[in-house]
Structure 1
Amino acid sequence: MVAESNPASQSITQRVLDLVERVGNKVPHPVLIFLILIAIVLVVAHVLYLAGVSVSYQVINPETHELETATTAARTLLSASGVRDMYTGLVPNLMGFSAIGLLVVAMVGVGVAEEAGLINTLIRTLVAVSPGWALTYILALVGILSSIAADAGYVVLIPLAGAAYLSLGRHPLAGIALGFAAVAGAFNVNMLIKPLDAVLTEITNDAIHMVDPTRSIDLTAGLWFSIASVPFLTVVIALITDRLISPRLGKYEGAAAEESEGASLGAKEWRGLRYAALGLLGVLVVFGLLSLPEGAPLRNPETGALIGNSPFMNGLIVPIMFVFLVSGAAYGWGAGTIKSSADVIGAMTKAVSGLGGTILLFLVISQFIAYFNYSNIPTIMAVEMADTLTRASIGPIWLLLGFIVVVTALNLVFTPAIAKWAIFAPVFVPLLVTLGVDPAAVLSAYRVGDSPTNSITPLNAYFALVVGFAQRYDKNAGIGTIVALLLPYAIGMSVLWTALFAAWYLLGLPWGF
């Protein structure tokens, strides 16, 4: 995958990353890895269960907003109840794995747009109108902002970034790494309010009320820091891509390189784009009528809100799917690449059938996550790490920085953002509020710690999918390839973003409205 070069001329960083890739790619197939991890969880959970390991803590229930005192003990899956749970949970565990539904729905639309040639044409157009130096920044910015559409950026932006890089004559794996770092590594910030923000804010307010029932924050409490983080992380991701990842990969020599060489658009392609624009306009009109008027069905039926916790935001993958589906079909009709409805259905079928290997992997991953959570090991780890940090006699800024480090490390094995915050908020929010720290700062610190390592943990539901994207261009790409590509992003974003947070806090800048 990496271009041939003289080892003596490589930097220490490049040699370390090459070593990480070689070692990582020698591990077994991801399916076997997660089967091994399942076996490890079974053994470790049983040992902890026999040792009687348990923790007591206070947690906020995200549904009732009540503070609850809970005791969590290690559970073994080797008991009668554990075996029954594994036996009956095989299908429910898979069906409850939201990544599968999101992936299938998105690919129904993307598959049509791809088969019709719309995506290729749009990428060629983007490359033609964008200065070469700006494409990296544009893709990084769009990747970060894609979190407004929940997880859709994983299945849409990442492969598009790889294809865009290929069209520009650059290594497509650099584009995939750039897209993954932007979508996953900055998932918790945006310039707009996301559905996730509503849940995290509610949990934060419940924690504040433990020490001050009259005080609350709203959805915009940390918006200034979030908005500032977006261009900051855009520059960080782009610089890492251009200065480290692209030079390490070198020139792409794959067979697909010739396919990326595109001339200017022909008359049929321009006609297809006009048809696609009309299709897009039609989709926007339909969903506009369903969401914009007062009392529209896609608004929150209780508050009337459109942004935040609303049917529109919670199901944003649906309009995204229709945008690709309708625009792709319209483009194909105009460009002559789609002749009938059978061609559209064929494109959908082809896209979904290509997910067979990914769905198999998701089957195994979903079982591992279910067993890991059943064992209560993640909760025990989170509580013990939180207790250790709070017992340390350090000032607010150091406590906040330590909190970021703890969240960053824990995110490698315990990825659900809401579940972690429900455990951490009752510990750190009251403590820091009593020390005079703005609760918005505590929530912002959590966002900083919870995001960057999303791209290097195989427990990320979309990690395996990104490996599949990489294998389109390098059949030898594996877990080691992705970890080696994303490790510089994870480290760079963690360090620099934490530095931005510390500077923001020390300067006393407002966190939001």
Structure 2
Amino acid sequence: MALPNLETKESKGLTRFLNGIERIGNKLPDPFIIFVYLMLIVIIVSSIVSAFHVTVVHPGTKEVLPIKSLISGEGLQYMLTSMLPNFTNFKPLGLVLAMMIGIGLAEKVGLLEAAIKRTILHAPKSLVTYAVIFVGIMGNIASDAAFVIIPPLAAMVFYTIGRHPLAGLAAGFAGAGAGFTANFIIAGTDGLLSGISTEAIKGIRPDIVVTPVDNWYFMSVSVIMLSIIGAWITERLIEPKLGVYTNKLEKKMEGISIIEARGLRNACLAGLGFIAVVVFILLLPHSPLRNEEGGILPSPFIDGIVPIIILFFITMGVAYGKTVKKITSTRDIPKYMGEAIRDMSGYIVLIFAASQFIAYFEWSNLGTWLAVNGAEFLISIDLTGIPVVIGFTLLTSILNLIIFSGSAQWALEAPIFIPMFAMLDYHPAFIQAAYRIADSSTNIITPLNPYMVVILAFMREYDKKAGLGTLISLMLPYSLFFLGCWIILLLIFALLGIPFGPGIGMYI
């Protein structure tokens, strides 16, 4: 079925614009090579600036720091002797790989896919749209697998209940793509971004550590907001635009099997049991998980949240795997964990290059110099309030059109913007939240999203004439509304003093 009303002059102009973005983006090297080039740029720039004997006063220690050249005996020694520590001590590396041991096990045994299917297929008809968006957002626990599982399943559900399948596909893609960073559960994204933020701030404020829970409250509220907005867009804008779907298809929607349902039940029971044990330990008098005053902020519980989450997913994954016979011996557990880590090989390679770039940037003192001078410039033009944060968010959303990898883009932006905003007293976790909403919102309209081709293939099962312009026209309302409403939510949290995570506000 064709969609003639999507091919307006405006959408054709937008398609030409995004095709141009695609051509530019395709000419960019792989993110690994980008960081190699950035390392070379830092090496050269540090040498040039150092030749002019430029110095900067460290804002914390008041020490006068010279810009150090990496093209020097000292610089060569540093690059050679620090290469391995730069990589192995890079905070996001251990955080993400450790979390993938638990979450990856749950994904490999089929627990996450079964939970997604069960939620969508058993939602009441009046709540199907909300369920699709919600599950799409929560699906980032399964990382990129959500892009492949949720949109086609949502399209099939919509078709089965007599609604336009492309509306379901769009809703599923919007949740999984534009809502990628939000979640009720601390996921790998939280560990990855907080680790990079910590690395970026330590040159200015080594006493500040950004933890995986520092955006937890904000992202939890975001799940609810985006689910409501996404459902409204689907039902009020997308479905009326698509009209009635009249094609007859020979498609059958397969639910979960009896054994999978039993596996989900056992996994939930195991998960509830695990939570009960943790809560019991927390409530103990003089609990080892609470601080000396008996509080939780800060406490060993917060510091140990990542291992707790890992054990939670391992517990549920093992319970599900044993029930559905995916785990028949203890050997199967490390096998699935190994498969999950193997899927992270590209990330590991990228982090090797990104960690060197960040380390060189910090060692040369270029990062401190840029942060101090950038902050002073913003103060001189009286641009230090919320507008500058919004400007940063919009800049990130534009950059995301040509740099799809969220980790690569944050590794590029954080060393520059985190120290600069810290000079203006903004907390790194607040700036990280501003980055996340921009990076996530535009995932679904960038032609460089590798899953665009996958989603387009799913679309053509229902509309043979659908093209990239059709897909982007469907997704653009989600992207714009999500970004706009997310910025408003960010401002509400910031201006009302609502914590973004445990003990985390807008300012340091």
What's the TM-score, normalizing by structure 2?
Answer: 0.65
Assess, with a 3 A threshold, how the Cα gap between structure 1 residues 228 and 318 changes in structure 2: closer, same or farther. Answer: closer
Is 1:52 the counterpart of 2:37? The answer is no
Match of 2:386 in 1: 401
Aligned to 1:437: none
Query: Of 294, 298, 306, which aligns to 1:304?
Result: 294
Instruction: Tell whether the 8 Å contact from 1:140 to 1:234 is kept in structure 2 after alignment.
Output: no
Amino acid at match of 1:294: P
> Partner residue of 2:304?
315
Would the aligned equivalents of 2:137 and 2:175 in 1 still touch at CA under 8 Å?
no
**Partner in structure 2 of residue 77 of structure 1:** 70
- Matched with 2:279 is 288
- Asked whether the 8 Å contact 1:116–1:331 carries over to 2, the reply is yes
What's the secondary structure of 1:313's corresponding residue? helix
Between the aligned partners of 1:124 and 1:367, the Cα distance in structure 2 is 41
| Cα distance in 2 for residues equivalent to 1:32 and 1:246 | 42
Q: Is the 8 A contact 1:113 1:325 kept in 2?
A: yes
Query: Which string of whole-angstrom CA distances, capped at 9 and with x for unpartnered residues, describes residues 456-482 of structure 1?
Result: 999xxxxxxx9788899899xxxxxxx
- Correspondence 1:138 to 2:134: yes
For residues 478 and 46 of structure 2, the distance between their equivalents in structure 1, rounded to whole angstroms, comes to: 33
Judge conservation of contact 2:178–2:442 (CA < 8 Å) in 1.
no
C-alpha spacing 1:326/1:451, structure 2 compared with 1 (3 Å): closer
Runs of 4+ in structure 1 off by over 6 angstroms are 3-7, 194-197, 222-230, 236-247, 442-445, 466-475, 484-494, 500-505
1:70-469 aligned within 5 A: 70-130=63-123, 131-135=127-131, 137-139=133-135, 142=138, 156=142, 159-160=145-146, 163-169=149-155, 170=169, 174-182=174-182, 262-300=253-291, 302-306=292-296, 308-392=297-381, 399-405=384-390, 408=393, 413-415=412-414, 419-420=419-420, 422-425=422-425, 449=434, 451-453=436-438
In structure 2, distance between residues paired with 1:407 and 1:73:
28
Alpha-carbon separation, structure 1, partners of 2:358 and 2:131: 37
The structure-2 alpha-carbon separation of the partners of 1:235 and 1:49, relative to structure 1 and needing over 3 Å to count, comes to farther
Q: Secondary structure at the match of 1:180?
A: coil
Tell me how far 1:6 sits from its aligned partner: 6.4
In structure 2, how many angstroms separate the alpha carbons of the residues matched to 1:51 and 1:240?
Answer: 56
Distance 2:66 2:481 in 1: 36
User: Contact 2:437 / 2:486 at 8 angstroms: preserved in 1?
Assistant: no
Question: 1:218 is matched with which residue?
Answer: none
- What is the distance in 2 between the residues matched to 1:503 and 1:337? 46
Residues 81 and 239 of structure 1: is their aligned pair in 2 closer, same or farther, counting only changes over 3 Å?
farther
CA contact (8 A) 1:453 1:490 kept: no
The alignment partner of 2:389 has SS state of: helix
Alpha-carbon distance in structure 2 between the residues aligned to 1:179 and 1:44: 38
| Secondary structure of 2:69 counterpart | coil
Is the CA contact 1:456–1:490 (under 8 Å) kept in the aligned structure 2? yes
Q: CA deviation at 1:309?
A: 2.1
Q: Matched residue pairs, number?
A: 418
| Alignment check: 8 A CA contact 1:110 1:325 kept | yes
* Preserved contact between residue 104 and residue 142 of structure 2 (Cα < 8 Å): no
Contact kept, 8 Å, 1:403 with 1:445, in 2: the verdict is: no
Decide whether the 8 Å contact of 2:136 with 2:175 is kept in 1.
Answer: no
CA distance in 2, matches of 1:158, 1:325: 20
Residue type matched to 1:177 in 2?
A: G
Distance 1:502 1:361, change over 3 A: closer
Q: Aligned pair in 2 of structure 1 residues 294, 443: CA closer, same or farther (>3 Å)?
A: same
Tell me the distance in 2 between the aligned counterparts of 1:510 and 1:114. Answer: 38
Aligned to 1:31: 32
Q: Is the 8 A contact 1:223 1:511 kept in 2?
A: no
1:225–1:23 CA distance, 2 compared to 1 (3 A) = closer
Alignment partners' CA distance in 2, 1:113 and 1:32: 33
Q: What is the SS of the residue equivalent to 1:55?
A: strand
Q: Is the 8 A contact 2:137 2:176 kept in 1?
A: no
Secondary structure of the structure 1 residue equivalent to 2:64:
strand
Deviation at 1:122, TM superposition (A): 0.3
Match of 1:15 in 2: 16
Which stretch has the larger CA shift, 160-169 or 384-393? 160-169
Contact 1:139–1:179, Cα closer than 8 Å, also in 2: no
Q: Deviations over 1:89-108 (max 9, x none)?
A: 11111112222212222222
Residue 399 of structure 2 corresponds to none
Give the deviation of 1:312 after TM superposition.
1.5
| Larger CA deviation: 325-334 vs 448-457 | 448-457
Query: What amino acid is the match of 1:73?
Result: P
Change beyond 3 A, Cα 1:238–1:16: farther
Tell me what 1:439 maps to.
none
Asked whether the 8 Å contact 1:271–1:334 carries over to 2, the reply is yes
SS of residue paired to 1:272: helix
Contact 1:55/1:73 (8 A) holds in 2? yes
State the alpha-carbon separation in 1 of the partners of residues 11 and 442 from structure 2: 27
- CA gap of 1:69–1:156, structure 2 versus 1, over 3 A, is farther
- C-alpha distance in 2 between matches for 1:487 and 1:380: 39
| CA positional deviation for 1:13 | 3.3
Amino acid at match of 2:102: G
Tell me if the contact between 1:52 and 1:73 (Cα under 8 Å) persists in the aligned partners: yes
Aligned equivalents of 2:365 and 2:94: distance in 1? Answer: 26
DSSP-derived class of the 2:326 partner:
coil
- Give the deviation of 1:177 after TM superposition: 2.2
DSSP 3-state at the match of 2:59 = strand
Partner deviation per Cα, 1:196-238 (whole Å, 9 max, x = no partner): 99xx9xx99x9xxxxxxxxxxxxxxx99999987755666677
Cα deviations by residue, 1:182-206 (Å, 9 ceiling, x for unpaired): 47xx99xx9xxx9999xx9xx99x9
Counterpart amino acid of residue 52 in structure 2: A
- TM-score, normalised to structure 1, is 0.65
CA distance in 1, matches of 2:373, 2:90: 28
How far the C-alpha of 1:280 sits from its partner, in A, is: 1.1
The 3 A distance-change label for structure 1 pair 51 and 225 is: same
8 Å Cα contact 1:386-1:424 kept in structure 2: yes
Distance 2:360 2:477 in 1: 31
SS of 1:58's equivalent? coil
Gaps of 5+ in 1: 60-67, 144-152, 207-221, 248-257, 429-441, 459-465, 476-483
Q: Which runs of 5+ in 2 are unaligned?
A: 156-168, 208-214, 241-249, 397-408, 458-471, 500-508
Distance of 1:456 and 1:401 partners within structure 2 = 20
The CA deviation string for residues 349-369 of structure 1, in whole angstroms up to 9 with x for no partner, is 221223223212211111111
Aligned-partner Cα distance in 1 for 2:234–2:360: 37
